[in-house]
Chain A
Amino acid sequence: MENNGENGKKRVLFVEDDEFLRSLTVKRLEKEGYDIEVAVDGENAISILEKAHPDVVLLDLLLPGKDGFEVLQTIRSTESVKTVPVVIFSNLGQKEDIDKAKALGVEEFLIKANFTLDDVVAKINKLTGRA
């Protein structure tokens, strides 16, 4: 896994439109020593994607404007970030959503309400080779 962040920290691109959920998650991941790049919607995520060059993307699905699926599609078709692991972190969880995400290529599909931020940290640690 590539090291992108300052001081050798692993970088997580976190795409989430809900401000409160975002602040809690950022706080938890920063405490764990990650370098967090935040995007508040789909457009925002796509525009900073290549520059941020994350080690992991933590992606919500329901976003204003371009949704998480579109962001995922862009990631999978952008040469420089094509193989970056993506964790869907959403409260959608119907079969069609999961199937659609899996078809586009995701590492994990986590339903927010069913996990704690400690679980998310554990998943990201695993994906960045820290676990």
Chain B
Amino acid sequence: METLDQKNKRLKEIGRIPINPLIFWGVVSAALTTVLLLIVAASGYISGIHWLIFVPVFAYLVIMGLFLAYISRLQRDRDQLLADRLSEESHRSEELKKLNQELESYAKQLFDKDIELTMANKRLQSLEQAKSKFVAVTTHQLRTPLSAIKWTFHMMMNSHLGPVTDEQKEFLRKGYASTQRTIMIINDLLNVDYIEAEQLDYNLVSIDIVELVENIMFEFTNQAKSRNIELKFLKPTNKPPAVMADPVKIGMVLENLIDNAVKYTPVSGHVTVHLSDARINSARPGVEIIVSDSGIGIPTAERDKLFHRFFRGSNAIHLEPNGTGLGLFIARDVIEKHGGELWFESKEGSGSNFHFTLPLFTSKAKT
């Protein structure tokens, strides 16, 4: 079977043979030959050689016959090729038309899908907005009465509203701590919402990390003492250089890690905060803080999930039913946003060490 390309090539070759001039020259030469032959025939007749008359006529007929046969064959070939090409082309255009129709229908389907997706996206966005709004409004509504309770407890336990006995003070302190815990849970929920919306605002400044750790640890003095837990801070002998951090957010991380350590350490255990120089990713100079405890530890099977939001360890739930499972998720996000790292090692039943690093303050760094 001849391919279309081969046919086209042949058509081109035939097209190069000038058929019309051939016919023209055929006719002209036929006329000239006729004249010539008439002369030959006439001279034959005059000279009396009668058969000479038939030779040119015969020769003429043979030549003309061959010529016409050649021309008509060329013509036929060309017509055939042209017809083939036409049918081939119409076939092709038919196919193209079909393909085009298919494409158009695909395009339409895609367009419809696109509209569907856009609409679904809009629905998701509005749900997301509604959720954020809900979280913001609810937390605000909860925070106001909680502020009132917290301040009242705090004012009373500090004798700002009149003298209180030591026993009353202890009750007030517990009331204050419970309120504070509730506020922390609400803040965790709000922070997760901010993290998801990438809206957590960082105010990076130069901070004295030793002072910050000491302040946060001070908050846990009573809680640790009440359960006979030894709370220690091992700081380097030389004062470490300033750290680049948002003091509120890092305070929150420390609060969270120390709170966990104290909460999940049995009576008479120990919690130690250790501060030292470090290299972040073995390059950038920074500090490393380790919060280690002699607590219940993290079961091996649950280690991968520890930083998932809302995840709570099976042994942790048993000890403290009222947690959100958000603290570590937020802590890791906060530390990573600071350019540091947060990790842990743990042995179930004998304790955990939570490490995090923070970069040192450099005057070049942008806040």
Contacts and interface: CB of A to CB of B under 8 A. Distances in A.
Interface of A: 18, 20-21, 24-25, 27-28, 31, 62, 91-95, 98-99, 111-114, 116-118
B120 to A, nearest CB: 26
A47 B182 CA distance: 38
B118 to A, nearest CB: 26
A27 B151 CA distance: 11
B143 A28 contact: no
Given A21-B147, A91-B140, A113-B146, 8 more contacts: A91-B144, A91-B147, A92-B136, A99-B201, A113-B143, A116-B150, A116-B151, A117-B151
* Size category of the binding interface on chain B: 20 to 34
Nearest to B190: A93
25 contacts: A20-B148, A21-B144, A21-B147, A21-B148, A24-B155, A25-B151, A27-B155, A27-B160, A28-B155, A28-B160, A31-B160, A91-B140, A93-B190, A94-B136, A95-B199, A95-B201, A99-B201, A112-B143, A113-B146, A113-B147, A113-B186, A117-B151, A117-B154, A117-B160, A118-B158
A121 to B, nearest CB: 10
Nearest to B132: A94
Contact of B148 (A24, A111, A116): A24
Interface of B is mostly: helix
Interface in B174-219: 183, 186-187, 190, 194, 199-201
Interface of A is mostly: helix
Contacts, number: 60
A62 B140 contact: yes
Given A27-B160, A95-B194, A95-B201, A111 B143 contact: yes
Interface string B247-286: 0000000000000000000000000000000000000000
B103 interface: no
Contacts of A20: 148
Nearest to A93: B190
Given A92-B140, A95-B201, A113 B155 contact: no
A113 B154 contact: no
B161 interface: yes
